[in-house]
């Protein structure tokens, strides 16, 4: 487990750094407006991906140890094609991305969706290292290609599209090569695979869709009530603050894989509690560093047009810490096929996002967007905490760090060290 955790954290550090490098390059070469346009492109891709992951997605992680791979991949591939076509129509009809970008957004969403299917298979097979290596290679190719193409004095957001094509093509080839197609299942396979895929996928995507709105509805509201340049500034602040999720998300990937392959509620409960507290500790350390940095540092790094970052980060901190906890809860619910609680939590957050966003963003601008995000993240985490405690019988005292957590971590790491020395 130590190797999986450390490898995943290292991969997340690299991919997060590469994502920030893309923002740095865009800020200096394309300006705040270019940053905002790229933010809308990425949001459009993510939106199309939501429908695509309805059959497949993270539900695959739960099913891979239980169902032969061939029975899983065919419906996932077919649905990816259907969802990409439908997604293109929606994005074009409602003008959710800038003019001329709907086609590339749909194609990139399709390629990324197929790639995500393969990565879910790798996680379900507990091949965390392969998953991490592919993610790192993809991020490196994206940055290298974008940096090269953005040197053109007339460069705009289209160069990001081209760089994305190159990076996903490389990652897709690697993920195809990495999958193990003849792995014995260790649990009784469900009889109706497609029905289970859709049912679990529907819960997952309902939660993901509402969570996406919690994360990114503010982008469209800022674009509507402010402008694309203001959106570019907010995307940088948001990306920096969400860097605090680097370790929580890394741990969550490992947690999801372990819980999906762990029988017994007590083992799943203890795993989740240990990962929860570790995630919160790391997230707190990251936001403490960010809040101490002056805005001038961010302006120097991301370009002269990117101003006012520090106040936005300060307003986002409570929500960022809440979502660090939510990473552990969400993967507990997904890994134990209780995705309905992710749906409810995200739904509550979405209600807050809509009400607060429409009220605060027109009046307070970017600060209103940051407050909206914090309120939505907090209500989501509160619900998930209550649901987790009810299901597992945990108490509030179990959520606080104690000596048992340290012993569990040492035992996990110690067992990994022993196995590694024996090999």
Q: What is the pLDDT of residues 22-64, one digit of tens each?
A: 999 999 999 999 999 999 999 999 999 988 877 766 667 777 8
**Chain position carrying tokens 């293109």:** 88
pLDDT of 222 reads 96
pLDDT of 14 reads 93
Q: What is the pLDDT of residues 216-273, one digit of tens each?
A: 899 999 999 999 999 999 999 999 998 888 878 777 666 666 776 666 788 788 888 8
- Residue extents of the structural domains in the chain: 2-414
Among 398, 377, 375, 390, which Cα is nearest to 340's? 390
pLDDT of 295 reads 86
Asked if residue 186 has pLDDT above 60, the reply is: no
Q: What is the mean pLDDT of the chain?
A: 87
Of residues 67 and 167, the one with the higher pLDDT is 167
Angstrom distance (rounded) from CA 108 to CA 381: 31
pLDDT of 188 reads 47
- At residue 322 the predicted structure's pLDDT band, cuts being 50, 70 and 90, is very high
Lowest mean pLDDT among 232-236, 239-243, 313-317, 360-364: 239-243
Lowest mean pLDDT among 104-108, 262-266, 308-312: 262-266
- At residue 1 the predicted structure's pLDDT band, cuts being 50, 70 and 90, is low
Lowest mean pLDDT among 50-59, 93-102, 121-130, 409-418: 409-418
Angle between helices 309-335 and 295-302 (to 10 degrees): 80
pLDDT of 165 reads 98
Asked if residue 74 has pLDDT above 90, the reply is: no
pLDDT of 113 reads 94
**276-310 as b/e: b if 16+ CB within 10 A:** bbbbbebbeebbeebeeeebeebbebbbebbebbb
**Six-digit token pair at 29?**
């070469």
pLDDT of 312 reads 96
Angstrom distance (rounded) from CA 269 to CA 161: 42
Helix (H, G, I), strand (E, B) or coil at 102: helix
Asked if residue 412 has pLDDT above 80, the reply is: no
Of residues 6 and 147, the one with the higher pLDDT is 147
Name 410's Cβ contacts closer than 8 Å, sequence gap at least 6.
none
Q: What is the pLDDT of residues 376-389, one digit of tens each?
A: 999 999 999 999 99
């Amino acid at each position: 487990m130590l190797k999986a955790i450390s490898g995943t954290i290292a991969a997340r550090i690299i991919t997060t750094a590469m994502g920030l490098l893309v923002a740095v390059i865009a800020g200096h070469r394309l300006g705040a407006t270019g940053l905002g346009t790229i933010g809308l492109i990425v949001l459009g891709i993510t939106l199309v991906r939501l429908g695509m992951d309805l059959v497949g997605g993270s539900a695959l992680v739960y099913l891979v140890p239980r169902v032969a791979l061939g029975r899983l991949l065919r419906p996932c591939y077919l649905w990816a094609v259907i969802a990409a076509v439908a997604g293109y129509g929606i994005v074009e009809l409602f003008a959710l991305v800038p003019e001329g970008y709907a086609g590339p957004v749909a194609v990139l969403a399709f390629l990324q969706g197929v790639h995500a299917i393969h990565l879910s298979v790798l996680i379900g097979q507990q091949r965390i290292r392969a998953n991490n290596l592919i993610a790192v290679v993809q991020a490196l190719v994206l940055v290298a290609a974008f940096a090269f193409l953005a040197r053109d004095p007339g460069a705009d957001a289209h160069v990001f599209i081209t760089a994305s094509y190159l990076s996903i093509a490389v990652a897709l080839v690697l993920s195809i090569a990495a999958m193990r197609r003849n792995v014995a299942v260790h649990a009784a396979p469900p009889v109706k695979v497609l029905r289970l895929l859709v049912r679990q996928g529907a819960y997952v995507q309902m939660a993901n869709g509402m969570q996406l709105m919690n994360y990114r509805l503010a982008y469209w509201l800022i674009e509507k009530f402010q402008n694309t340049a203001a959106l570019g500034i907010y995307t940088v602040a948001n990306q920096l603050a969400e860097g605090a999720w680097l370790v929580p998300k890394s741990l969550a990937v490992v947690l999801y894989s372990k819980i999906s392959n762990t029988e017994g509620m007590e083992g799943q409960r203890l795993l989740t509690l240990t990962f929860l507290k570790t995630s919160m500790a790391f997230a707190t350390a990251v936001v403490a560093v960010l809040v101490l940095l002056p805005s001038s540092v961010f302006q120097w790094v991301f370009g002269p047009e990117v101003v006012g970052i520090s106040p936005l980060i300060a307003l986002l901190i409570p929500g960022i810490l809440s979502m660090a906890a939510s990473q552990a809860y969400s993967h507990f619910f997904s890994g134990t096929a209780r995705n309905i609680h992710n749906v409810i939590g995200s739904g509550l957050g979405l209600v807050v996002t809509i009400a607060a966003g429409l009220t605060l963003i027109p009046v307070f601008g970017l600060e209103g967007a940051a407050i909206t995000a914090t309120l939505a993240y907090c209500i989501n985490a509160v619900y998930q905490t209550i649901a987790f405690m009810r299901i597992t019988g945990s108490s509030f005292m179990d959520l606080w760090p104690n000596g048992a957590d340290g012993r569990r971590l040492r035992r996990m790491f110690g067992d990994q060290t022993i196995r590694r020395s024996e090999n």
